[in-house]
Structure formats: C-alpha cells, structure tokens
Amino acid sequence: MSLTYHLQVVNLLAALLLLIAFAMLSQRRIVGLITLFAWQGAALATSTAIVAWSTGQHHLYYSAALTLGLKVVLVPWYFFRLIRQLDVDREVEPMINIPTTMLIGIILVIFAFNLALPISQMAGTVTRSTLGIALASVLLAFLMMITRSKAIPQVIGFLAMENGLFFAATSATYGMPLVVELGVALDVLVAVFVLGIFFFHIRETFDSMDLKHMERLREK
C-alpha cells in the first residue's frame, strides 16, 4: 500500500471524525457538544480541501469553504448565542449507561464498515476506504439523536449526521454536483434557523428544553 501523504492525512482526519462522533455520543454538556460539532466540521472541511488539492477536483474547494463557513463558524456561533439566550448553556444531560451506548456504537461501526466494504471496492476514488467511516459517523449521529432527550443535542445529532453524509459524498464520489451541495447547505441553514425559532416556542410552552415533557401524543 502506498498512499501519498496527503491521503494519509485524509485517513487520519477520517479517523478523527469517527473519534469526534464517539466523543459526541458520550458528551453530557451542551457547550462541549457544540464545540465538538465545530471540530467535526473543521476536520471535514480540512479533509475535503485536501482531497480537492490532491485530486484536482476544484468544485470540492467550494464544498470545503461551504462546510467551513456553515458548520464551523455560522452554526456553532448561532448555537452558542442560542443557548445563552435560552439560558441552557450550563445544562448537563443526565445520561445513564454511556458504556452501553458506546457498545451499541461499536456494533454500528462494525455494521457500517461491512456495509461499505463492497461499495468502496467498486469506487474509483482514492478516498474510498473512508466511506465506511462516513457511514459509521452517520449511524453514530443517529444513535446520538435516539439517546438524547434534550432538543439541542438532538439537533446537533441531526447536523452531525449531515456532516457524515457530506463526508460520504466526498469519499465515494468526490462530492455531489455543486448545485446539489449548495441546495443541501441551504436546507441545513434554513433548518438551523427554523429550529432556532422553534426552540423558543418549546421554551415558551414547556418552560424547559427537555423533550421528556413531550409525552402527550403517545399512542394509547
């Protein structure tokens, strides 16, 4: 195996992405979660930029810049502002059983690696081996959404999922067509702002950001 150094860096960043996904899974504090999310975005943007540079796929630069602007700067900034306004910046989520969650996480990772294996063998991209990691991050973000009962962590899980998907697109195909990436980024942006408004509504009605209060609509 002779990978050039920048691709090794991409692999390392992929591993970092996965590591951050796990860290998010076990992070109890909202502030820490947002910081981790920003770091994940930074790792994603860096790796996208390196792939762009090493393969000459210039549209990936836009994608990297988009990620950097949106997921490293704008969204974390907005969330930090939001949690200050909502006064939940010191909130700690009481989570039991982190080890179990982590164990399920490991199982998901193995599942994702196996699922991605046949596809990555077909791929012609140099970054194909990271597809499994991308899929694993998506599933871990999904797991995080399931295990959290607070609104903001769930949304961060949703956005982390989007990160994983972007990474998947980069590793399998050197990114989606630019117009689609722009569209997806726009959706993410709108989603974040719509949810920002929504948080205030939740807060107003429930006096809390804890979704455990939402139990009215259980199927009888």
Please identify, using beta-carbon distances, which residue of 83 and 116 lies nearer to other proteins. Answer: 116
To other proteins, the closest distance from the beta carbon of 37 in angstroms equals 15
Closest contact distance (angstroms) between CB of 182 and other proteins is 9
Compute the least distance from the CB of residue 113 to other proteins, in Å. Answer: 5
Cβ distance to other proteins smaller for residue 48 or 130: 130
Strand partners, 150: 210
CA distance 14 to 171: 10
Residue among 38 and 108 whose Cβ is closer to other proteins:
108
Shortest Å, Cβ 38 to other proteins: 19
Our CB check for other proteins shows the closer of 38 and 135 to be 135
Nearer to other proteins, 74 or 211 (CB): 211
Locus of tokens 């970092």: 16
Q: How far is the CB of 70 from other proteins (least distance, A)?
A: 15
3-state secondary structure the chain: CCCCHHHHHHHHHHHHHHHHHHHHHHCCEHHHHHHHHHHHHHHHHHHHHHHHHHHCCCHHHHHHHHHHHHHHHHHHHHHHHHHHHHCCCCCECCCCCHHHHHHHHHHHHHHHHHHHHHHHHHCCCCCHHHHHHHHHHHHHHHHHHHHCCEHHHHHHHHHHHHHHHHHHHHHHHCCCCHHHHHHHHHHHHHHHHHHHHHHHHHHHHHCCCEHHHCCCCCCC
Distance CA 167, CA 206 (A): 36
- What's the closest the beta carbon of residue 149 comes to other proteins, in angstroms? 12
Smaller CB separation from other proteins, 11 or 80: 11
